[in-house]
Amino acid sequence: MNSTRSRTAAPPKRPFLMAAVASILFCPPVLAANQNDVSRWIGGTASAQPQGFSRGDPLTLTWSIVPDSTTIFGAAGEPTSGSGLVALLDAELGSGPGGTDLTLRPWFSRFSDSFNRFSEVAGLTYLYEPNDDGNTVGGIAPVSPFGSLGVRGDVRIGGHPVDGQSDTNILAYNYFPNNGDMVLDTDNSNLFGGSNSLAFRNVIMHELAHGLGLRHVISTGTGGGSFLLEPNLSTAFDGPQFNDILLLHRGYGDVNEKSNAGLGNDTSALATDLGAIVSGGTISIGNDARDLVVGATEVDFVSIDDTTDTDFFSFTVSDAGTIDVLVEALGPTYNAGPQGVQGNPNPPQDSFDASMRSDLTLTIFDVDGTTPLATINNGGLGDDELASAIALSAAGTYFARVTGVDNPDGLQIDTQFFGLTINFNASLGASPVPEPATAGLFAIGLVISLFARRRTA
């Protein structure tokens, strides 16, 4: 139904990055179709990045809306002209109290909700920059400068006429890192001015993903999914879907990689705290990565973004006892491939098994965070790892560490979602529960349910 609506991403505008990005932009045909890897931000941000700019490192970006009349270069073949985005949205959706504080506009939340959604599911932090000095958006030369705190955002949003509302209908386009600027087609007033915030937000979030270095993915036919990064607008879902979040983690890690003021969770001292587990109790995370469809409120995704990632988790018990810890390699199988380059047909899609991207290892550490109590790597790619009946000698805070080794196949997306489930049973006599027989039966039931969640692949 929306087949005439296409969205394209324009080439980067910074000449000194052209060479670095050209191999990705103009990649030669490949025999084994594969999704394009994420070409993430490697510098130029207004905010400092505590872990740097390597794959899987978290990223903080600022965003601003350019003032109307800001020059926007015509990167999709349209005339260069001044931005009219604020005027369009004010006319269509209302201007509230007006003025220069755009956060008071009734349409502001369509942008902020979109940025915040990305911050919920990956190692990304988006901050609104209220200032924008109106420097030119886009173009090869002159280029607009990088983001700067108090001056302009890293991701700058404007809009001007591109190609009307029909025929070759571009809704918006976006620059890849290290630029990220977004241009909406103000000709599409029926979309950006319409009451359907979902369509609006899905366009914004699709473009945001381009601004993070994600390219279009084609996923059709048997086993095909419905992803935000497919070239045509869909309102069948709200925001990033399984494959989209996988790629966000590939570039910027999971949400825990931005914890501890951006230092992540790669050591026991920085472990992600899962809290207390009572005797007979269970704690589990990562469970939203079990299927393709992602609801708008799902946020429970953790991953090993590649071989260099380590994920530490801590948990606290109030007695001596035993734990069972299960790590599951999660993810469905679906078709995915790249879009054809510059009008060429789409290459054939591969069947992509998202549970086979990294061979996971589980290690349990004592309260010092350094003495291993158990290291489990019995299975290979796609297999779960179970640390069973590990004795904890006293009350305290213990640690579980998940690491992985990339799948050595030719596919580049070696990011593995996982689930981590910990079940604790206090030693008989150590627990204040007055009837240990009852507690024991309860514990058996929990162990059975734990096993029932294991994959059979």
Count of other CB atoms within 10 angstroms of residue 270? 16
Q: Which is nearer to Ca ion, 125 or 335 (CB)?
A: 125
User: Least distance from C-beta 309 to Ca ion, angstroms?
Assistant: 5
Q: Which is nearer to Ca ion, 154 or 385 (CB)?
A: 385
User: Least distance from C-beta 93 to Ca ion, angstroms?
Assistant: 18
User: Least distance from C-beta 388 to Ca ion, angstroms?
Assistant: 15
**Which residues, 6 or more positions from 421, have their beta carbon under 8 angstroms from its beta carbon?**
282, 283, 284, 325, 326, 328, 450, 453
User: Least distance from C-beta 403 to Ca ion, angstroms?
Assistant: 9
Q: Which is nearer to Ca ion, 55 or 216 (CB)?
A: 55
β-bridge partners, 82 = 71
Q: Which is nearer to Ca ion, 66 or 356 (CB)?
A: 356
DSSP-derived 3-state class of residue 13: coil
Q: Are 217 and 229 in contact (CB under 8 A)?
A: yes
User: Least distance from C-beta 404 to Ca ion, angstroms?
Assistant: 8
Task: Please compute Rg for the chain using Cα positions.
Answer: 24
β-bridge partners, 182 = 157, 174
Backbone angles phi, psi at 171, to 5 degrees: -90, -35
Count of other CB atoms within 10 angstroms of residue 192? 24
**Residue 10: DSSP 8-state:** E
**Which residues, 6 or more positions from 31, have their beta carbon under 8 angstroms from its beta carbon?**
none
Q: Which is nearer to Ca ion, 225 or 382 (CB)?
A: 382
Q: Return d(Cα 419, Cα 274) in angstroms, integer.
A: 13
Q: Return d(Cα 58, Cα 253) in angstroms, integer.
A: 6
Going by C-alpha positions, the residue among 402, 444, 396, 397 that lies closest to residue 423 is 444
Q: Which is nearer to Ca ion, 377 or 427 (CB)?
A: 377
Q: Are 247 and 34 in contact (CB under 8 A)?
A: no
Q: Which is nearer to Ca ion, 11 or 379 (CB)?
A: 379
User: Least distance from C-beta 341 to Ca ion, angstroms?
Assistant: 22
User: Least distance from C-beta 266 to Ca ion, angstroms?
Assistant: 4
User: Least distance from C-beta 329 to Ca ion, angstroms?
Assistant: 8
**Residue 333: DSSP 8-state:** E
Q: Which is nearer to Ca ion, 144 or 303 (CB)?
A: 303
Going by C-alpha positions, the residue among 183, 180, 133 that lies closest to residue 155 is 180
Interhelix angle 108-121/242-252, rounded to 10 degrees, is: 70
DSSP H helices, 339-454, are 436-452
Instruction: Give the sign of the dihedral formed by CA 112, CA 72, CA 216, CA 212.
Output: negative
Q: Which is nearer to Ca ion, 185 or 288 (CB)?
A: 185
Residue position matching structure tokens 């006319």? 91
Residues 211, 213, 216: CA angle, nearest 5 degrees: 95
Parallel/antiparallel/unpaired status of strands 311-317 and 372-376: unpaired
Q: Which is nearer to Ca ion, 218 or 360 (CB)?
A: 360
**Residue 31: DSSP 8-state:** S
User: Least distance from C-beta 33 to Ca ion, angstroms?
Assistant: 27
Residues making contact with Ca ion (CB under 5 A): 163, 169-170, 185, 187-188, 254, 264-266, 309, 311, 359-360, 377, 379
User: Least distance from C-beta 16 to Ca ion, angstroms?
Assistant: 31
Q: Return d(Cα 56, Cα 302) in angstroms, integer.
A: 12
User: Least distance from C-beta 249 to Ca ion, angstroms?
Assistant: 7
Q: Return d(Cα 11, Cα 117) in angstroms, integer.
A: 25
Q: Which is nearer to Ca ion, 34 or 188 (CB)?
A: 188
